[in-house]
Amino acid sequence: MRQTRQTLVAGAFYPGEQKSLDKQVSEFLSKVELEDKYKNILGIISPHAGYMYSGQCAAYGFKALQQRQFDRAVLIAPSHRVGGFRFSVGDYDEYETPLGNLEVDKQAVSKLLELSGFDFIPSAHSSEHSLEVQLPFLKKINPEAKIVPIVYGNQNPLNSKELAEILVEQFKDELDTTVFIISSDLSHYYDGFSAELMDKKLIESVEKADIDRLENALSTHQVEACGFGGILTILHLSKKLGYSQIDTLNYTHSGKITLDNSQVVGYMATAIYK
């Protein structure tokens, strides 16, 4: 019997009905115009809020991914509700979306689960939205792509560096068909002005791939990102694999949508390429 990871936030974070969701995602993507320079994209950093807040921002990253031919997407998303683990790999057969289900790369998942620190913790996936909200966009731009879903538990610099090393080893012979999708929002619940100042510091470190500066800013609370572990991971990947170009494709925060700037959440879409 096939194991399917059922949707958790369909109908809440994004439309649960196929036609409405397809229309919304299509409209988001149609509003994005990018230079034709992302054919060698390694991956993206993408927000994971409700689509009314961050969907248009997310579309920038997926529009860049659309320029690349790939068969597999490795998704790294933070755990918001379940702790006490390093990495939980989604050992399902498929992930449900209203646009159609996405197949899991079972072979890649099985290899990861053989490693120390990699487990399958069902509750870390069934209760988590941060990975799920990436999937309708992925299904729209590449419906045949297989996924390697990783929920990141104990986020820290050492785990991020080790994860990057493991992913390089795991996919070293298949990098030409693999992309990485990092799920993260930025600062949470500051006023709009303060949020933009904090997020600008993080964006500058990311664009320069300055891992030491970013780790220091995170540890001293100068910047915030709920998926910082994944962000550090893809920066390590970019250095190891020679992807030296990093573009911020879009930045926004929830106050720009709600027009309430008293407490906002920051979002960015970022492309890592060469």
- 52: domain CATH number is 3.40.830.10
The predicted pLDDT at position 174 comes to: 94
Q: Name the H helices within the chain.
A: 18-30, 51-65, 106-113, 122-126, 135-141, 157-171, 192-207, 211-219, 228-241, 255-258
CB 245 within 8 A of CB 272: yes
CB 104 within 8 A of CB 148: yes
Amino acid occupying residue 263: Q
At which residue do the structure tokens 């996919």 appear? 171
The predicted pLDDT at position 1 comes to: 81
Give strand pairing partners of 270: 45, 248
pLDDT per residue as tens, the chain (274 positions): 889 999 999 999 999 999 999 999 999 999 999 999 999 999 999 999 999 999 999 999 999 999 999 999 999 999 999 999 999 999 999 999 999 999 999 999 999 999 999 999 999 999 999 999 999 999 999 999 999 999 999 999 999 999 999 999 999 899 999 999 999 999 999 999 999 999 999 999 999 999 999 999 999 999 999 999 999 999 999 999 999 999 999 999 999 999 999 999 999 999 999 9
Running DSSP on this structure, what letter comes out for residue 154? S
Q: How many domains does the chain have?
A: 1
Q: Which domain holds residue 59?
A: 4-273
Instruction: Provide the pairing of β-strand 178-183 with 72-78.
Output: parallel
Transcribe 37-68 into DSSP letters: --TTEEEEEE--S-HHHHHHHHHHHHHHHTTS
The predicted pLDDT at position 109 comes to: 98
The predicted pLDDT at position 53 comes to: 97
The predicted pLDDT at position 168 comes to: 97
